[in-house]
Chains A and B, each alone.
Chain A
Amino acid sequence: MKPPRFDYLAPTSVEEALGILARYGEDAKVLAGGQSLVPLLNFRLARPAHLVDLNEIPGLDGIRGDDGRLVIGAMTRQRAVETSALVRARCPLLAQALPHVGHVQIRNRGTIGGSLAHADPAAELPAVVAALDGQLVLRSSKGERVLSAEQFFASYFTTAAEPTELLVEVRLPEMPPGTGTAFMEVSRRHGDFALVAMAAAVTTDAAGVCTASALVAAGVGPTPVVVREAARALVGQRPTAEALEDIGRRVSAAVHPESDLHASSEYRKHLAGVLATRALAEAVQRTRRSAGHEVGDR
């Protein structure tokens, strides 16, 4: 038997799950898609006394458009989000990022909420939620609270969620007309975690002048890194090639990644700048198409 001993619990309602978490606290671990947790169990790096499987709770998955935002249930499979016409139309950045998450067999089982709650600093989805100013909805037996990405992601593999809280859904506001987005990353092999990944969103007015710009990097810090000042420097400008090169230099200067066996700090800084310039350029291309019909490419 690969994993250590645990007590397996399969609640059939959110209330039942919250009751279990309230009772066992840190001794319980939530099992969503299991694509990160089960390897940790198989390596015996995680040894929870109680494993709380969410897969038998109806209603924790689903994608719906709701008053200017997209609401995605935490247990929605990544592959279902990737192939959703609603997501492509209303939140293309998410559809652009998902093909970079693992492989199709992983995304068939892996969930949106599981990836966010796992909070790997090189993961794609936390950067997307941060770039879109998304909200994360946490529920416990005591009630509900709604956090921004910056409030939710605390450090490496650490979130602001208490052991008694469950991430139940993520809310992503729709982007204004004239917005284009892009997601790019460099990894050692396709499907690996990113050395550096970059999510970009740009809004331009009818004259082609940038009115809003967001850049969020993964793999360069303990949480998704919102490169706010550098992105803001584009506002009020035409996004020419020179302007985007300048933003790239600012991004490279603004991030302070650590070195590890996969890549040096210097290389990651370089990648962050290059990816920022390229992702912005692709996002700008898409602003020209976003006012009328939606583009489903990636």
Chain B
Amino acid sequence: MNERAIRVVVNGRSYERTVDVRKTLADFLRDDLELTGTHLGCEHGVCGACTVVVDGAAVRSCLLFAAQVNGHEIHTVEGLADGDRLNPLQEAFREHHGLQCGFCTPGFLMTLTCFLRECPDPTEAQIREAISGNLCRCTGYQNIVAAARAAAQALAGTS
């Protein structure tokens, strides 16, 4: 087949679309659903900018085809904030200057969203390993690590 009809739930909202089977999930999110918060850097699985959450696991959306997510549940960076209210992880990034140009930020946020769920009280070494698959070319890693640690503390305080 060259096209496939798919149904996906993205950030809690259900979509039905017919997609070219060659279209990556990243392009589908950006072009078809106009969810342009997911960024594309390298488009071959190295930079991590396109990281989204599929069925609870952080994955590269440039290495998945939209045709493959039929029936699956996706979360993107657009689903983190509640209207204008940033969630604790986003708030920590703002507070600790965890972003400079902001291009890599959606990927870091989605990676850390899953990581902090699995590892709510991480060491610095664990945070560094968790974000090792995301590149920040502003090289703002120190502040990203600080933001992740602060987010873990904030989340522990709220639960």
Q: Which residues of chain A have a CB within 8 Å of any CB of chain B?
A: 1-10, 34-35, 38-39, 42-43, 51, 53, 55, 79, 99, 102-106, 108-109, 189-191
Contacts and interface: CB of A to CB of B under 8 A. Distances in A.
A7 B61 CA distance: 20
Given A5-B2, A104-B111, A190-B132, 7 more contacts: A7-B1, A34-B63, A38-B45, A39-B44, A42-B62, A109-B59, A189-B132
A16 to B, nearest CB: 14
Given A1-B20, A108-B57, A109-B64, A191 B44 contact: no
A56 B48 CA distance: 25
B129 interface: yes
B133 A105 contact: yes
B87 to A, nearest CB: 20
A105 B60 contact: yes
B51 interface: yes
Nearest to A34: B63
13 contacts: A2-B43, A8-B1, A8-B2, A35-B63, A39-B45, A51-B21, A99-B129, A105-B48, A105-B51, A105-B111, A105-B133, A109-B57, A191-B133
A105 B57 CA distance: 8
Given A106-B60, A109-B63, A35 B1 contact: no
Contacts of B115: 104
Most chain B beta-carbon contacts within 10 A, residue among A2, A105, A189, A191: A105
B38 interface: no
Given A2-B43, A105-B51, A108-B59, A34 B133 contact: no
Given A9-B1, A103-B48, A3 B22 contact: yes
Interface string B72-90: 0000000000000000000
A9 B4 CA distance: 10
A106 B57 contact: no
A290 B23 CA distance: 49
A42 B68 contact: no
Given A8-B4, A105-B51, A105-B133, A2 B60 contact: no
B58 to A, nearest CB: 5
Interface residues of B, number: 30
B64 to A, nearest CB: 7
Contacts of A10: 67-68
B20 to A, nearest CB: 7
B23 to A, nearest CB: 6
A8 B133 contact: no
Contacts of A42: 24, 43-44, 62
Given A7-B1, A42-B43, A108 B58 contact: yes
B141 interface: no
A109 B69 CA distance: 12
Contact of A1 (B1, B22, B59, B132): B22
B23 A1 contact: yes
Contacts of B68: 10, 53, 55
Contacts of A79: 57
A79 to B, nearest CB: 7
A286 B17 CA distance: 54
A5 B22 contact: yes
A218 B1 CA distance: 39
Contacts of A102: 133
Nearest to A33: B63
Contacts of A4: 22
A190 B129 contact: yes
Most chain A beta-carbon contacts within 10 A, residue among B2, B45, B111, B115: B45
Given A1-B22, A105-B48, A191 B64 contact: no
